[in-house]
Amino acid sequence: MFTRVRVLDDTDVAQVTEYLQQDPVGNMFLLSRIQAHGLNRGRLGCPVVGVIRSRELQGVLHLGANVVPVAADDSAIEALASKIGPWRTSSSMMGRAEPVLALHHLLSQRYPRAWGSPREVRASQPLLELQEPSRVGPDPRVAVATMGHFQAYFQAAVAMYTEEVGVSPIESSGGYMRHMRALLQQGHCFAIVDDDGTVRWKSDVGVSWRSYCQIQGVWLDPAWRGKGLADAAMTAVAHLCRRRYESVSLYVNDFNTRALAMYDTVGFRQVGEMATVLY
C-alpha cells in the first residue's frame, strides 16, 4: 500500500476538515485554526503535514509552537514523525492522549536531546462536554468582558497562564497580548469584574468551530477561592456559551480534583482524554 507524507495546502482543506470532523471535540484546535487560516503555511505560520494512503487521509500533524498530531494508527504516527527532526522549536505537544504520547515516546527515543526531556508530561487530561443541567444556579455577575476591561482581564489571564503552565506567557513579540485582545474583541471572554475594576473570575472561548466551542483559561482570584463561588460562575459561563454553541467542552488536568468536582456539578461529563507535553 503506497503511503505519501507531504505538507498540506489550501487544496486539501475539504479533505482535512472531513477527516478532523469525525472527532470535532477532540480536534477543536486544528479545526478552529483551519477555519480561520486555511492550510496555507504563510497564513498559519507553520506547516501542517498529512499522511495519505491510497488517496485516503490517515494522519495530520500541526508542526508549530504547538505540535498537534492526529493519527489513525501507529504506522501513521511513524510516518508523521519522519517529518520531525532532531531540532525542536515547539514549546508543547498536545491533542488526544494516544497519538500525543505515542509521538512523544517515538521522538524521545530518536532524538533524546531535543524531545526526551520535557518540563512536564500531563498524560491524562479528561476531555469534558456539557451534557446535563447544572446542579446550581448561575452567578448573575458573570458577563461578557469588553475592551474597557482589557488591562484587568489581561492581568488575570497572565496570572492564570503562569499558575497553570508554570511560566509567564509574556514575551517580547507581544503575541499573548494580541491573542487576548482578539478574544475580547470577538466577545469570547467572560468575567466577574469587581467594583474597583479588578477581574475576579475569567474564562474564554479559546477555540470554536461551527456549533462547537471549547472553554479555556478558567481562573478565580485566589482571594475568592474556597467559598463555593466557582460552581455558579462556571454555570453562568455555560449558559452564555449555550446561547451561541450546541457543544461546549473543555479539558482539565486529572490531578485538579477541585476543578473536576466543579465541572461535574455544572454538568460536564467525560467524553475522552487529552494529553500535553510541556517543554
User: Helix (H, G, I), strand (E, B), or coil: what is residue 227?
Assistant: coil
My answer on whether 23 and 45 are in the same domain is: yes
Domain with residue 40: its CATH number is: 3.40.630
With respect to residue 125, please indicate whether it lies within any of the assigned structural domains. no
- Output the pTM of the full model: 0.95
My answer on whether 114 and 160 are in the same domain is: no
Q: Find the mean pLDDT for residues 239-258.
A: 97
Domain with residue 230: its CATH number is: 3.40.630.30
Query: How far is residue 186's CA from residue 43's CA, in Å, rounded to a whole number?
Result: 20
Query: How far is residue 206's CA from residue 215's CA, in Å, rounded to a whole number?
Result: 6
At residue 3, the pLDDT reads: 86
**Per-residue model confidence as pLDDT tens digits over 40-88:** 999 999 999 999 998 899 999 999 999 999 998 999 999 999 999 999 9
Using alpha carbons only, give the angle 204, 41, 76 rounded to the nearest 5 degrees.
85
Total count of domains within the chain: 2
Average pLDDT of the chain, as a whole number: 96
Q: Find the mean pLDDT for residues 86-91.
A: 95
Cβ burial, residue 192 (10 Å; 0-12/13-18/19+) = buried
With respect to residue 124, please indicate whether it lies within any of the assigned structural domains. no
Query: How far is CA 216 from each of CA 2, 56, 192, 264, rounded to the nearest angstrom?
Result: 40, 33, 16, 16
* 252 Cβ contact partners less than 8 Å away, ≥ 6 residues apart: 125, 126, 128, 259, 260, 263
With respect to residue 136, please indicate whether it lies within any of the assigned structural domains. yes
**Rounded percentage of the chain residues whose pLDDT exceeds 90:** 94
For 135-166, letters b (16+ CB in 10 Å) and e give ebebbeebeebeeebbebbbebbbbbbeeeee
My answer on whether 134 and 257 are in the same domain is: yes
**Per-residue model confidence as pLDDT tens digits over 142-196:** 999 999 999 999 999 999 999 998 899 998 888 999 999 999 999 999 999 999 9
My answer on whether 150 and 111 are in the same domain is: no
The range of the structural domain enclosing residue 206 comes to 130-272
My answer on whether 140 and 232 are in the same domain is: yes
User: How many CA atoms are closer than 13 Å to the CA of 43, on its beta-carbon side?
Assistant: 11
My answer on whether 180 and 134 are in the same domain is: yes
Query: How far is residue 99's CA from residue 274's CA, in Å, rounded to a whole number?
Result: 9
